[in-house]
């Protein structure tokens, strides 16, 4: 294919250069351990705060940010409002319609994206240093002057509804949705972030404008910047981009919640070759003193590595599934551990039995000293390796701010892990894993039936 017939040559070159420089910038940061942990807390004259990792070796700037609010702030009966609003923030802003706005981004190879999660609306911007001012200006327009033109709203609405149709035949999506709506029935966490067939058609342009005015504010904003920009250059840009946002959000209070339905199994019949299994229960909050011990215990149970108990028992010893894992999930108003797998329909009962047996065994006896030592070593050595791009570094810095962990977390993390004793791990294993499970299964499973029994 001749790229000159499909896009301007300079656009292709800039995109290629940006793709190359993103990992190079991360390498430049990570290759110098002393500088990798140097996180500057930058506050503009207007009071906008950002965490900055200054790395001038590569001409690239990565910006990540998050507004606390997310899909839990969707209006009653209009699930999917945050998701639809986020999808439209870069579809025209100021005096530029969607085509003109996207063309400005394309001509300078500026990457701009937004997405809605349960608790947050997140955004990111990537640009070469030479295009810095224009990139920040386009980000400002997207956040402060989104157009929400009717044609763009209807196009994005149609795409979301099309995706919802696809999800009706996806066992993974069905299992996840049933788990969340059961675990958090009557709570905003039980509503799908993408919305429903009933809610999405009813979201109006006024709903989108009202949502962004309520949620996109300076007081609930966390920002991280990584790359070729220093603190003094960044400060006026922070005011330029975020200074025009409302000072405070207008958020609806959300109650804390604990997963419900423990002890239940919910089977949804679907004619697919495999059965998808989701399972989970209450977790441990991120600021809980037991969190690091729980994080280690979860890694031992099914933290996505070949040495985990679930992987060894389900895949290696019995060949029941290609993969199985679980993770801790911490939200602003709830904490849980959540896992899943997919297996042959005729072995679903056996697979679920093995999973529940391993969870119970770890809850009762805790990990071994060897498992604890191996988990600590892995979690320490893999941490920096997982931050292999500027995007991942910026995303991590935003998450640390959302978790209220402080700029010293990078240097303190190893000591936190080392401080977890075997007695701690055993105690927390029981606390984390001895509460019962809510299980959803989608497919034609054998040996598994729906139950209404719940744990006391």
d(CA 216, CA 248): 9
Binned at pLDDT 50, 70 and 90, residue 14 comes out as: very low
d(CA 339, CA 328): 9
Q: What does the mean pLDDT of the chain come to?
A: 91
Binned at pLDDT 50, 70 and 90, residue 15 comes out as: very low
CATH of the structural domain 3-242, one choice from 2.40.37.10, 3.30.420.40, 3.30.830.10, 3.40.50.300: 3.30.830.10
At 34 the pLDDT is 36
At 403 the pLDDT is 97
Yes or no: say if 233 and 120 are a contact pair by the CB < 8 Å rule: no
Binned at pLDDT 50, 70 and 90, residue 37 comes out as: low
Yes or no: say if 189 and 282 are a contact pair by the CB < 8 Å rule: no
Q: Is residue 91 predicted with pLDDT exceeding 80?
A: yes
Q: Which value, in Å, is the radius of gyration of the alpha carbons in the chain?
A: 23
Q: Where are the domains of the chain?
A: 3-242, 265-443
CA 438 to chain centroid, in Å, comes to: 22
Alpha-carbon dihedral 346, 437, 374, 424, rounded to 10 degrees: -160
Yes or no: say if 321 and 351 are a contact pair by the CB < 8 Å rule: yes
Yes or no: say if 455 and 262 are a contact pair by the CB < 8 Å rule: yes
Question: How deeply is 378 buried, as exposed, middle or buried, from its count of CB atoms within 10 A (0-12, 13-18, 19+)?
Answer: middle
Binned at pLDDT 50, 70 and 90, residue 384 comes out as: confident
Give 280's strand partners.
Answer: 338, 438
Yes or no: say if 42 and 49 are a contact pair by the CB < 8 Å rule: yes
Decide if 3-242 and 265-443 have a common fold.
yes
d(CA 343, CA 348): 6
At 24 the pLDDT is 46
pLDDT-wise least confident of 8-17, 58-67, 81-90, 170-179: 8-17
341-366 per-position pLDDT tens digit: 999 999 999 999 999 999 999 999 99
Q: How far apart are the first and last CA of the chain?
A: 63
Range 426-445 average pLDDT: 97
CATH class of 265-443: alpha beta
192's tokens: 């799908």
At 410 the pLDDT is 86
Binned at pLDDT 50, 70 and 90, residue 18 comes out as: low
Yes or no: say if 434 and 263 are a contact pair by the CB < 8 Å rule: no
d(CA 4, CA 12): 9
Give 112's strand partners.
Answer: 125
Binned at pLDDT 50, 70 and 90, residue 177 comes out as: very high
Between 29 and 290, the higher pLDDT residue: 290
204-257 per-position pLDDT tens digit: 999 999 999 999 999 999 999 999 999 999 999 999 999 999 999 999 999 999
Q: Looking at the chain, how many residues does it have?
A: 456
> 3-state SS of the chain?
CCHHHCCCHHHHHHHHHHHHHHHHHHHHHHCCHHHHCCCEEEECCCCCEEEEEECCCCCEEEEEEEEECHHHHCCCCCCCHHHHHHHHCCCCECCECHHHHHHHHHHCCCEEEEEECCCEEEEEEEEEHHHHHHHHHHHHHHHHCECCCHHHHHHHHHHHHHHHHHHCCCHHHHHHHHHHHHHCCCCHHHCCCCCCCCCHHHCCHHHHHHHHHHHCCCCCEEEEEEECCCHHHHHHHHHHHHCCCCCCCCCCCCCCCCCCCCCCEEEEECCCCEEEEEEEEECCCCCCCCHHHHHHHHHHHHCCCCCCHHHHHHHHCCCCEEEEEEEEEECCCCEEEEEEEEEEHHHHHHHHHHHHHHHHHHHHHCCCHHHHHHHHHHHHHHHHHCCCCHHHHHHHHHHHHHCCCCCCHHHHHHHHHHCCCHHHHHHHHHHHHCCCCEEEEEECCCCCCCECCCCC
């Amino acid at each position: 294919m001749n790229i000159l017939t499909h896009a301007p040559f300079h656009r292709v070159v800039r995109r290629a250069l940006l793709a190359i420089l993103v990992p190079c910038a991360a390498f430049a940061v990570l290759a110098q351990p002393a500088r990798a942990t140097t996180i500057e807390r930058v506050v503009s004259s207007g009071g906008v705060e950002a965490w900055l990792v200054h790395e001038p070796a590569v001409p690239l700037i990565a910006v990540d940010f998050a507004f606390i609010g997310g899909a839990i702030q969707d209006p009653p009966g209009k699930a999917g409002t945050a998701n639809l609003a986020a999808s439209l923030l870069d579809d025209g802003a100021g005096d530029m319609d969607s085509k003109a706005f996207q063309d400005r981004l394309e001509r300078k190879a500026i990457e701009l994206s937004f997405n809605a999660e349960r608790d947050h609306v997140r955004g990111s911007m990537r640009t070469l240093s030479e295009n810095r001012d224009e990139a920040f200006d386009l980000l400002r327009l997207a956040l402060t002057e989104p157009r929400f033109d009717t044609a763009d709203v209807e196009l994005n609405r149609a795409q979301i509804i099309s995706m919802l149709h696809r999800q009706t035949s996806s066992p993974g999506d069905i299992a996840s949705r049933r788990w969340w709506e059961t675990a958090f029935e009557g709570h905003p966490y039980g509503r799908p972030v993408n919305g429903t067939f009933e809610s999405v058609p009813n979201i109006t342009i006024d709903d989108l404008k009202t949502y962004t005015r309520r949620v996109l504010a300076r007081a609930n904003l966390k920002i991280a910047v990584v790359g070729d920009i220093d603190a003094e250059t960044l400060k006026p840009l922070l005011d330029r981009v975020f200074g025009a946002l409302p000072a405070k959000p207008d958020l609806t209070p959300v109650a804390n919640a604990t997963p419900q339905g423990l002890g239940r199994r919910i089977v949804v019949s679907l004619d697919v070759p495999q059965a998808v299994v989701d399972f989970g229960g209450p977790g441990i909050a991120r600021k809980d003193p037991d969190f690091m011990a729980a994080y280690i215990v979860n890694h031992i149970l099914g933290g996505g590595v070949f040495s985990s108990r679930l992987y060894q028992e389900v895949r290696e010893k019995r060949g029941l599934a290609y993969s199985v894992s679980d993770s801790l999930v911490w939200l602003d108003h709830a904490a849980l551990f959540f896992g899943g797998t997919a297996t042959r329909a005729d072995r679903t009962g056996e697979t679920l039995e093995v999973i529940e047996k391993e969870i119970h065994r770890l809850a009762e006896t805790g990990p071994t000293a060897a498992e604890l030592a191996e988990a600590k070593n892995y979690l320490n050595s893999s941490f920096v390796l997982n931050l292999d791009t500027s995007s991942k570094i910026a995303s991590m810095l935003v998450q640390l701010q959302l978790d209220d962990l402080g700029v010293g977390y990078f240097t303190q993390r190893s000591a936190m892990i080392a401080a977890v004793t075997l007695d701690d791990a055993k105690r927390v294993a029981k606390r984390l894993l001895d509460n019962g499970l809510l299980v959803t299964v989608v497919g034609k499973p054998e040996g598994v039936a729906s139950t209404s029994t719940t744990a006391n």
